[in-house]
């Protein structure tokens, strides 16, 4: 299954960049990848479990990777979140697919 793995770069909330390998065949999203590598303490990311209801997995997308289009619930949540920028997305809404190869993100501050 290794050929299905993708490489992504995640900068944590302390500014440290991590190069990680994510599987594309386990229906994982970016928030779950961050949790699986423990790049943010438990309880500070993915609080709602991935329902686009808490914005604790907000991240800034820094690569020009073509991302899945934003759905209404993600857009609504980001409109109520803090520290939002033009390149903000919710990690829980970004599925790990082969198209995400080379994705580079920075985690937004905890709020």
Partner 1 sequence: MIKTDILIIGAGPTGLFTVFEAGLLKLKCHLIDALPQAGGQCSELYPKKPIYDIPGFPEVLAGDLTQNLLEQSKQFEPGFTLGERAETIEKQEDGSFIVTTNKGTKHQAPIVAIAGGLGSFEPRKPLIPNIVSFEDHGVEYFIKDPEKYRGKRVVISGGGDSALDWSIFLAEVASEVTLIHRRNEFRGALDSVEKVQELKSQGKINLITPAEVINIVGDGKVKGVVVAQSQHIEKEFVVEADHFIPLFGLSPKLGPIANWGLEIEKNAIKVNNALDYQTNIPGIYAIGDVNTYPGKLKLILCGFHEATLMCQSAYQRINPGKKYVLKYTTVSGIDGFDGSRKESPKAVVKAIN
**Residues within the interface to partner 1 (CB under 8 A):** 41-44, 47-48, 51, 53-54, 56, 73, 76-77, 79-80, 82-83, 111
Phi, psi for residue 3 in degrees, rounded to 5: -65, -15
Rounded Cα distance between 73 and 38, Å, is: 26
Contacts of 64 (CB under 8 A, 6+ apart): none
Q: Which is nearer to partner 1, 6 or 31 (CB)?
A: 31
The distance of closest approach from Cβ of residue 5 to partner 1 in the complex, given in angstroms and rounded to an integer, is 24
Q: Which is nearer to partner 1, 33 or 77 (CB)?
A: 77
Rounded Cα distance between 67 and 61, Å, is: 9
The distance of closest approach from Cβ of residue 48 to partner 1 in the complex, given in angstroms and rounded to an integer, is 6
The distance of closest approach from Cβ of residue 61 to partner 1 in the complex, given in angstroms and rounded to an integer, is 20
What the block records as the tokens of 65 is 């990777």
């Amino acid at each position: 299954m290794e050929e299905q793995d993708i490489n992504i770069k995640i900068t944590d909330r302390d500014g440290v960049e991590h190069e990680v390998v994510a599987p594309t065949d386990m229906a994982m999203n970016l928030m779950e990848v961050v949790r699986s590598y423990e790049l943010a303490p438990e309880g500070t990311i993915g609080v709602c479990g991935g329902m686009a209801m808490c914005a604790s997995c907000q991240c800034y997308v820094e690569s020009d990777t073509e991302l899945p289009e934003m759905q209404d619930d993600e857009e609504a949540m980001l409109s109520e979140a803090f520290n939002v920028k033009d390149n903000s997305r919710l990690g829980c809404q970004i599925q790990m697919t082969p198209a995400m190869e080379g994705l580079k993100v920075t985690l937004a501050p905890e709020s």
